[in-house]
Structure 1
Amino acid sequence: MEKIKVQDSVGAILIHDMTQIIPGVIKGPRFRKGHIIREEDIPVLLSMGKEHIYVWDQKPGLIHENEAAERLANAVSGSGLILDEPKEGKITLTAAHDGLLYSSEDGILALNTLEGVILSTLHNHYPVKKGDKVAGTRVVPLMIDEKIIIEAEETAKTFKTPILEVRPLKPFRVGITITGSEVFHGRIQDKFGPVLRSKVENWGSMVIEQTYASDDVSLIQASIRDQLAKGAEMLLVSGGMSVDPDDVTPTAIKELGAELITYGAPVLPGAMFLLAYMGEIPIMGLPGCVMYAKTTAFDLIAPRLLAGERLTRHDIVKLGSGGLCLDCPVCTYPHCSFGK
């Protein structure tokens, strides 16, 4: 800390907030900690009764918190992010568009283990809207050794993908098959189709066809083949997913020649979820809970497929931690613990 005359302070860095009081007009911080004094600030400081001020005694090799935070933010940022201006040594990162936040837990941990470095983010695979705050960077001291920031920048480069990015959901052509003899024969009204159509459209995709099939393997398979022939890029098959003998949806999908990734997911609701692939085209078998529960395994998995991921069984198994929905009276997802 150094005491200098106000007239000699241009370029110096304040180490504390400075309050300005004008009766009936203002009482509050006029200059914030970390402010770099400019020529035009001198008359203001003198009018505040400041003949001398205390500033940081900058030493070679140290950089200001604003520069450090900005360099950290640039080091961790991939596509789909907007960085705001530094304020009090902090940079806020916001989503440039709707999508899913991809955040590397290993990368975040690696950076935060560096002395004085802070990176705080939302959870991995968090659904965001344009303008949402997704992360913040800053450093603890007002001035930090540049070697630490260089190490942070080099650490970020060791990861194959950016530590933070927002991936947009791609618009898919989606085919829907509603199974169940009771719906197929018109004994009850279809409640599944409107729910699935609403979710698909909310994610920015379109339903190219919705068909009905009784609890018959050949009919379900015929519907899937027809939708594939019409250019479907994602297939949703609803109902018939339990272990009852007449629930044949999993059998129909498996015997179609699809690559089965998982039949079952450690998510409640959604335990009987199925994921398979016909080449590059994902097929999801959806249990009945998707029809009546606000958020299920389907809501955790489908957006990741729309973001371009090809999921493995390991990806599904990892959903067990945070995979319990608390059935809140009013669903606040994603602002809750589900899927985290």
Structure 2
Amino acid sequence: MKLIRTVDAEGAVLCHDVTQIIPGTFKGPAFRKGHVITKEDIPVLLSIGKENLYVWEKKEGMLHEDEAAAVLRDLAIGAHMSASEPKEGKIELTADCDGLFKVDSGALRLVNRTPQMMIATRHGNTPVRKGDKLAGTRIIPLVIEEQKMNDLSACVREATGGRPILSLHPFVHKRIGIVTTGSEVYKGRIKDSFTPILERKLQEYDTEVVGHEVTDDDDRMTTAAIWKMVGLGADVVLCTGGMSVDPDDRTPLAIRNTGAEIVTYGAPVLPGAMFLLSYLQTEGNRTVTVCGLPGCVMYAKRTIFDLMLPRILANDRITADEIAALGEGGLCLGCSTCIWPNCGFGV
């Protein structure tokens, strides 16, 4: 840094905060470290007694914190996101639409293992709404070596295959078919209380229910009902009831008999251990997601279904390994005031 006269400081970058005191009214920074001085700033600086200033001296091979923050921004930002203007080495990213937020955790760690810089994000694989804050970047020192930023960029792009660290997948309109199983409902002994709960959850997203069938404890009837939903154009079929291992709970068998690829029957999530996820390929080359939902979805505030539904609605194909990884964080604590997805459940 170097000391210059304030009257000559236009375009220079402050190396320190400049404090202003207005008796009885204000005491604080009039200008912060890293501020680029404008012509209009000079009279203000002189009025608070700053005739000389320490400013950053541009050197070859060094980047100002805001320039370096822009490098982190470009590594992180994906489609459907907006970035704030750099300020004091910080940039914030926000969502431009409703969707599923995802993070390349390995690439994020590459950045955060590199001294003098960081990116902090919300949890990946969670739903966000337009305008939500997604991430913030920060360069720690006022200046940083340009080569360090270039080296980091090369490592991150190699790790991601050139993709951004963060991505936002817009939710897609989905047609939903519901198949309710169980002789007690089919024969009218009890009222179907599961479907209204599903409908309320689906209303949180861009969905429409195109059909609803109720079946007996007969796997063939349930298989036929699933195919009927597919024929009605359903993109997702949700089967309720009959998901335990009791001999008369045959919904998993009915789903398997459709020819669907079973990703998992069982998940390390509580509530939701008896969840089934599968993908059914139709003759028209459509992929229909078929789920078997355990009874907990009917009475628990948040379950495995809440973790899976945003991914299904964003066309984000789910693997068995990803479901296995839910074991860490897969225990819902049943808080009296639920703040999901802004908590640790499922992440």
Q: TM-score, normalised by structure 1?
A: 0.96
Q: 2:314 aligned to 307, 317, 321, which one?
A: 307
Q: 1:248 & 1:108 partners in 2: Cα distance?
A: 43
Secondary structure in 1 aligned to 2:43? helix
Secondary structure in 2 aligned to 1:202? coil
Q: CA offsets, 1:66-125, max 9 Å, x none?
A: 111122112211112110111221001111111111111001011122221211111111
Secondary structure in 2 aligned to 1:124? coil
Matched-pair contact (CA < 8 Å) for 2:101–2:124: yes
Q: 1:109 & 1:137 partners in 2: Cα distance?
A: 13
Shift of 1:325: 0.6
Secondary structure in 1 aligned to 2:94? strand
Q: CA offsets, 1:176-228, max 9 Å, x none?
A: 00111111111111110011112222121111011111111121112111111
Q: 2:57 & 2:258 partners in 1: Cα distance?
A: 73
- Give structure 2 stretches of 5+ with no counterpart: 282-286
Aligned to 2:32: 32
Shift of 1:26: 3.5
Q: CA offsets, 1:203-254, max 9 Å, x none?
A: 2111101111111112111211111111111110001000111111011111
Q: 2:316 & 2:89 partners in 1: Cα distance?
A: 35
Aligned to 2:8: 8
Shift of 1:25: 4.5
Q: 1:155 & 1:205 partners in 2: Cα distance?
A: 40
Aligned to 1:66: 66
Is structure 2 residue 289 aligned with structure 1 residue 282? yes
Q: 1:92 & 1:152 partners in 2: Cα distance?
A: 20
Q: CA RMSD in A?
A: 1.4
Matched-pair contact (CA < 8 Å) for 1:66–1:88: yes
Paired residues for 1:1-340 under 5 Å: 1-158=1-158, 159-160=160-161, 161-279=163-281, 280-340=287-347
Letter matched to residue 123 of structure 2? H
Q: 1:12 & 1:322 partners in 2: Cα distance?
A: 49
Matched-pair contact (CA < 8 Å) for 1:174–1:234: yes
Letter matched to residue 208 of structure 2? M
Q: 1:41 & 1:255 partners in 2: Cα distance?
A: 74
Shift of 1:24: 4.6
Q: 1:186 & 1:16 partners in 2: Cα distance?
A: 75
Letter matched to residue 76 of structure 2? V
Secondary structure in 1 aligned to 2:324? helix
Secondary structure in 1 aligned to 2:322? helix
Matched-pair contact (CA < 8 Å) for 1:111–1:155: no
Q: Which runs of 4+ in 1 moved over 4 A?
A: none
Q: 1:221 & 1:22 partners in 2: Cα distance?
A: 77
Matched-pair contact (CA < 8 Å) for 2:126–2:307: no
Letter matched to residue 22 of structure 2? I
Letter matched to residue 224 of structure 2? A
Q: CA offsets, 1:141-160, max 9 Å, x none?
A: 10111112222332332213
Letter matched to residue 290 of structure 1? V
Matched-pair contact (CA < 8 Å) for 2:126–2:310: no
Matched-pair contact (CA < 8 Å) for 2:92–2:137: yes
Kindly tell me the number of residue pairs found equivalent between the two proteins.
Answer: 340
Q: CA offsets, 1:22-75, max 9 Å, x none?
A: 335533211111011122222111111111112223321111111111221122
Q: 2:320 & 2:43 partners in 1: Cα distance?
A: 66
Q: 2:30 & 2:289 partners in 1: Cα distance?
A: 57
Matched-pair contact (CA < 8 Å) for 1:72–1:152: no
Q: 2:49 & 2:318 partners in 1: Cα distance?
A: 64
Letter matched to residue 130 of structure 1? K
Q: 1:26 & 1:328 partners in 2: Cα distance?
A: 42
- Give structure 1 stretches of 5+ with no counterpart: none
